[in-house]
Amino acid sequence: MEAVENIGPVSGTGSGATGDQTTNKLQKLPDLVSFEQKVSSDKSDDQIMANGSDPGGEGSTDSTTSPGKNSKASSTEGQQVDSSQTESGAVKGDSESGIQKTDVDVKAEDAATSKEKESDERLESTGEPEDEWMDILGNGQLKKKMLKAGTESSHPAPGSLVTVKVNGRLDSGVCIQDSTENFILGDGDVIAALDMGVALMDEGETAEVVTAPRFAYGRKGREPDIPKDSTLTYNLQLLDVKPGVDFTKLTSEERLQFGEQKRERGNDLFGREDFSGAINSYSKAVTFLDSSGQGLSGDTSILQKIHDSRLKCFNNLAASQLKVGATDAAIRSCEAVLLTQPENIKALYRLGKAFGNKGQTDKAITTLKKALKLDPESKLLHRELASLTQKQKKEVESEKTMYKKMMGSMGGAAEKKDEASSGGVLKWSLVAGGVIAAAASVGLAFYRSTH
């Protein structure tokens, strides 16, 4: 796995709505279902730089399993009737049997009425409908149940800044998160289950969300507390909803905070091999950290941190883009780093690799040699350069062979043309000679006939 810079795990949250509100809320659910396509399982590349690995970061993982569906079992009592003992649908001895059947029916009706009354009382007192689960995606893998109602129709819009109290646990009951999180809804700052769940909550609502692994930490889990393929249950409380963040109006400190949060989220996704998700997070981080034309002011140390974090984002963005084959985009990301840090080894390495992927072997070798001068001990650089040098030799040999074949073909055609030309001259010479000989014979015969 090629590592990224300063990786840190990011936590997240989410929740849901009740049955009566399902239709309206699903219509307003932001376009988050695409999170299903963001989990990739591409194998990682070589780690970069030091000791054959890319210096500056680590990867993390992802995991969860599918939730089960609550159901209630009920049984009813009945009596079997021997057909030989019945006549016109009547049971022999119906006096006694009929009384028993009536008693059973009455008991069942009383139990049902009692249960409905109990459920109604519970809903009135706690706002919790019994077993009122919303199947968010319709496949049973992401479900939500309201535990306490919030302010009706106050669900957050995509891009809102939300504050959510999160308590997460494994199926075993082990707590894996207990915190209050602030994040931009729909930006991919948290796991997909929480992003989608919170989008269906009202402000002040408390809800429970059960998620399958694919919408949480997947087949890798999150070391050390979340095993791979873990089903997770979250208790969520949507505490506050604010309008979308206008990054141009943020202070330098706030922009650094948001940028770092998204960069760390990108690192987490990169470590779990969700390269498309990582690209999304790094790109959004760059937006917060881009100071061009914004007139940022403040402590010099804060501005330097913003600059450094932005370069890390571009470097990690290039690594992610190479993973998904976005070569041209990776070249642009590397060039953004080298514009202010021309001796950035990781940017040079990735730029050289991108050139190599495009078949521009000469440019790739030149770029990697520049990086090797800065880090002559790098095994990875030596290995990559050796591979490209060998590739260049094969390309030269291939070109020579092709040239020889082309020249040989042209030479053969010329020889055939010469032969054809020579044959033509000889043929016409013979024809001309024959004509002359015939003419001479005719002349000689005429001479003899006249003398």
Asked which of 22-26, 106-110, 349-353 is least confident by mean pLDDT, the reply is 22-26
Spatial separation of the C-alpha atoms in residues 261 and 415, rounded to whole Å: 74
Q: Which carries the bigger pLDDT value, residue 150 or residue 129?
A: 150
Is 184 within a domain? yes
- When pLDDT is cut at 50, 70 and 90, the band that residue 3 belongs to is low
Is 88 within a domain? no
The predicted pLDDT at position 77 comes to 37
- Give the DSSP H/E element, type plus range, for residue 145: strand 142-148
The predicted pLDDT at position 55 comes to 37
Residue 303 CA from chain centroid, whole number: 31
CATH of the domain at 169: 3.10.50.40
The dihedral over CA atoms of 93, 94, 100, 105, expressed in degrees to the nearest 10, equals 160
210: which strand partners?
Answer: 143, 233
Query: Structural domain tally of the chain?
Result: 1
Nearest to 16 by CA among 190, 189, 263, 196: 196
Is 163 within a domain? yes
Is 230 within a domain? yes
Could you read off the pLDDT of 84-94 as tens digits, one per residue? Answer: 343 444 334 44
Spatial separation of the C-alpha atoms in residues 362 and 170, rounded to whole Å: 53
Please determine, for residue 157, whether its predicted confidence score (pLDDT) is greater than 70.
yes
Is 181 within a domain? yes
The predicted pLDDT at position 95 comes to 40
Could you read off the pLDDT of 121-136 as tens digits, one per residue? Answer: 433 443 444 468 999 9
Is 390 within a domain? no
Range of the domain at 54: 19-67+133-249
Single-letter amino acid, residue 75: S
Over range 58-62, report the average pLDDT. 36
Is 213 within a domain? yes
Q: pTM (2 decimals)?
A: 0.62
Is 240 within a domain? yes
Separation of first and last alpha carbons in the chain: 112
